[in-house]
Amino acid sequence: MNKKPRIKSNICLDVHPDGCKKQVRNQIRFIKGKTFTQGPENVLIIGGSTGFGLAARIVSAFGYKAATFSVAYEKPPSGTKHGTAGWYNTGEFDKRAAGDGLLSVSFNGDAFSHELKHQVCGFIASHERKIDLLIYSIATSVRRDPCTGVLHRGVIKPIDKAVAGQTIDLSTVHLKDFSMEPADDLDVFNTQKVMGGEDWLLWVKALKKNNLIADNFRTVAFSYIGPVLTYPIYRDGTLGKAKLHLEKTAGDINTLISDNNGKAFVSVNKAVVTKSSSVIPMVPLYIAILYKVMKGRGVHEGCLLQMHRLFTERLYTGREIQVDEEGRIRIDDLELDEQVQQEVMKIWNRINDNNIVLKTDIMGYIEDFLNIHGFSIGDYSPDDREERSRRKEVSIPLI
């Protein structure tokens, strides 16, 4: 594992196949060491190859012994080029699931299309299964509407007024200035079409039409709110408008599945390092500071720990599911703790190029960023606070 990654504009241009596989094995081993009680039996994950979606699949399969069906769009290796990280994640997951005698089926294709929905539903029906948990975890900026054929491109922009500030350049580990002009109405519309709840609803309708929804069905889509600090570029921007549409869609789905005693939820998750969050201006700097504070308090969580808590402390407790006044599940509670945010703001107001390594956990951020692509993978356990909080030098070649 000595291949060095190349990073440009906070995007990693390489992937390490062996590292991707090893990380999946690490996560599976961690979940197998936990105790689980009653939970889902047949789980469909839309976007199950990376991040929260992959973590939810690992918890479902290796925690609850559920059959899992995943939909993702990943590139396989071709010639001398590696495939995408999610391609190797999925292959390793399926291999380990088969070794444990678990039903694991992975569909690779356009989750937005009617054709793939038909294929997935047909397969599940042919195996006489009914889905009792649907996880919706798509992260993309492009979607072709299956009804109109129009290609929509989402954008990350503020609304009403321009925003300027600082973010981190991961290739240099320095601060850099950014400025963003406000979105127009078409930007807002397109972002909602891609990142809102329209496709989530279409998946539930497809399951409903094919009589594949089990009694007491649950479905969860993931969202983020974050602190007031990031509102101008996130919650009050085009992304936030799309997430508001996602929350509204939960109500539409609740009406659709009421006769199955079903329930739809939006789960508001903690800020974590993902391919998507790394390219949102301001957010990498915020996360690096947040990691410093939360690790110092012993309450840091990555994707797998977040999903473990979602399942064991929210969805499958045997009690009524805990939600906020808007009906949302909140597992961002530790992030938005008042004392945590006060400490984050103190650091934010004092940060500069001279103290960024000392005042933030930028090296921990970079390590997580590399892990996503299969680099810098050790044998750590995801809840080993000492190991995850350690500081180590990470060498990143400049582009």
What's residue 116's pLDDT?
98
Count of CA atoms in the C-beta half-sphere (13 A) of 283: 23
Task: Tell me the C-alpha distance between 198 and 252, whole Å.
Answer: 10
pLDDT, tens digit only, all 399 positions of the chain: 446 788 888 888 889 999 999 999 999 999 999 999 999 999 999 999 999 999 999 999 999 999 999 999 999 999 888 999 999 999 999 999 999 999 999 999 999 999 999 999 999 999 999 999 999 999 899 999 999 999 999 999 999 999 999 999 888 889 999 999 999 999 999 999 999 999 999 999 999 999 999 999 999 999 999 999 999 999 999 999 999 999 999 999 999 999 999 999 999 999 999 888 888 889 999 999 999 999 999 999 999 999 999 999 999 999 999 999 999 999 999 999 999 999 999 999 999 999 999 999 999 999 999 999 998 877 655 655 434 444 444 444 333
What's residue 379's pLDDT?
64
What's residue 29's pLDDT?
96
Is residue 183 within 8 Å of 158, Cβ to Cβ? Answer: yes
In the residue annotation, 73 being an active-site residue is answered as: no
- Give domain limits for the chain: 7-159+184-271+300-332
- What class does CATH assign to 7-159+184-271+300-332? alpha beta
Largest distance between two CA atoms of the chain = 61
Residues composing the chain: 399
Catalytic option among 234, 286, 291, 365: 234
What's residue 46's pLDDT?
98
